[in-house]
Amino acid sequence: MEVYLDTAATSIKKPDCVYKAIDNFMRTIGASPGRSVHKQGIRASRIVTDVRDKIAGLLGINNSSHLIFTLNCTEALNLAIKGILKQGDHVVVTSLEHNSVMRPLSAMIEERDITVTRVRSDADSITDPDDLRNCLRPETVLIIMPHASNVTGTIQPIEECCRIARKHGILSLVDAAQTLGCVSIDLTRLPIDLLAFSGHKCLMGPQGVGGLYIRKGLCPVPLKYGGTGSASSEEIQPDILPDKYESGTPNTPGLAGLSAALDFIAAETIEKIRQSIFEIGKIFRDGLETIKDVVVYGPRDMRFNVGIFSFTVKRRDPAEIASELEDRFGIMIRVGLHCAPSAHKIIGTFPEGTVRASIGYFTTKEEVEYFLKSLAEICND
């Protein structure tokens, strides 16, 4: 038996319609969108317009031009961070940030002399909004937080934190890499200014697509400049959205796949997807607790977890557990720091890291039971 439990990195099994949509695009369309007005160019453009509208629908945005497609969530976070921050600005982040937030910030410390304050989360990796409030300064321009930690799966109180930011006239950037597609995000209600997402994790699209929502009125400096197929008589970057931020030929096959994935999610509903992860996740989390010598991190209550479980086994190297899981039982999980070193400093697993197993909508109860049985066997040896 082969079991894949690394959805937090990439969802490996996609809805059937995703494979079909990519194949269909490659075989029957294949042209560049937003440029040539021949039949195939128009069909390609329609795919991009449709997928933008579908993401807008998922987030509750009226104007889909405020959604910018990128290569992945990392590129979206870079666009937001580098595009917003200026010399001497102050930023508040959580202790859970992925390196796709911390590395551009580190570059901004060097290049623009910005300062960064990290709010310490609690032992379950939950950030207290009051702690965040206490870190604000007159020169704070931006708060950044993940919607859910990619180490422990803990869902963060983004609503309270973004409300605090809004009240103080500070911008908020939410990293929704681990949530868009499996947790409802309603931007008609949430006071979020910038939201970055991955297309290839819980959204179940292919790799090579992600995006950034930019609230109306915000104008980050573009990350890249070039041809957009619009205002071509001008050699300066057009000011219209989304063109301002989308130079060059996009990953249209990937967007076709993402579009099909969004249809699948709309038909299934986010509520059903969340409920499935809740139920399978509960079996997972409760089962982990019963295995000898296993230490599990993050909240026990699945209402606060997106289906990501980090654990260690007493007196055993996490890498050794991971290779035994794969070599003896065909189970694929991830081991190490998961690109989020400071999250491990809080839970006490730095620098060795944890074994991380993550589930998705297609993970079955049988797979989870097989995983638990296999891990118990390794721990009892």
Q: How far is the CB of 292 from ligand PLP (least distance, A)?
A: 30
Tell me which stretch binds ligand PLP (CB under 6 A): 14-22, 28-36, 174-182, 220-228.
174-182
CA distances from residue 76 to 150, 291, 299 in whole angstroms, order as listed: 17, 39, 28
Q: How far is the CB of 240 from ligand PLP (least distance, A)?
A: 26
Tell me which stretch binds ligand PLP (CB under 6 A): 56-64, 175-183, 249-257, 281-289.
175-183
CA distance 222 to 345: 34
Tell me which stretch binds ligand PLP (CB under 6 A): 24-32, 69-77, 216-224, 369-377.
69-77
Torsion over CA of 346, 172, 200 and 317, rounded to 10 degrees? -10
Q: How far is the CB of 103 from ligand PLP (least distance, A)?
A: 11
**Residue 219 near residue 26, CB atoms below 8 Å:** no
Helix axes 270-289, 252-268, angle to 10 degrees: 80
- Using rule CB under 6 A, residue 255 touches ligand PLP: no
Question: Which tokens go with 286?
Answer: 């409760």
Candidate list 146, 181, 206, 242; residue touching ligand PLP; CB under 6 A: 146
**Which residue type is seen at 102?**
M
- Using rule CB under 6 A, residue 165 touches ligand PLP: no
Candidate list 152, 198, 251, 252; residue touching ligand PLP; CB under 6 A: 198
Among residues 114 and 195, whose Cβ is nearest to ligand PLP?
195
- Using rule CB under 6 A, residue 100 touches ligand PLP: yes
Binding mask 234-253 for ligand PLP (x = CB under 6 A): --------------------
Candidate list 3, 61, 108, 177; residue touching ligand PLP; CB under 6 A: 177
Query: Alpha helix (H) ranges present in the chain?
Result: 16-24, 39-59, 73-84, 99-112, 129-134, 158-167, 252-268, 270-289, 318-329, 341-347, 365-380
Q: How far is the CB of 74 from ligand PLP (least distance, A)?
A: 3
- Using rule CB under 6 A, residue 74 touches ligand PLP: yes
Q: How far is the CB of 340 from ligand PLP (least distance, A)?
A: 7
The helices-and-strands tally (H runs, E runs) of the chain is: 11, 13
Question: Which tokens go with 380?
Answer: 């009892």
CB atoms within 10 A of CB 186: 12
Peptide bond into 351 cis (omega under 30): yes
Residue ranges binding ligand PLP (CB under 6 A): 9, 72-74, 98, 100, 146, 150, 175, 177-178, 198, 210
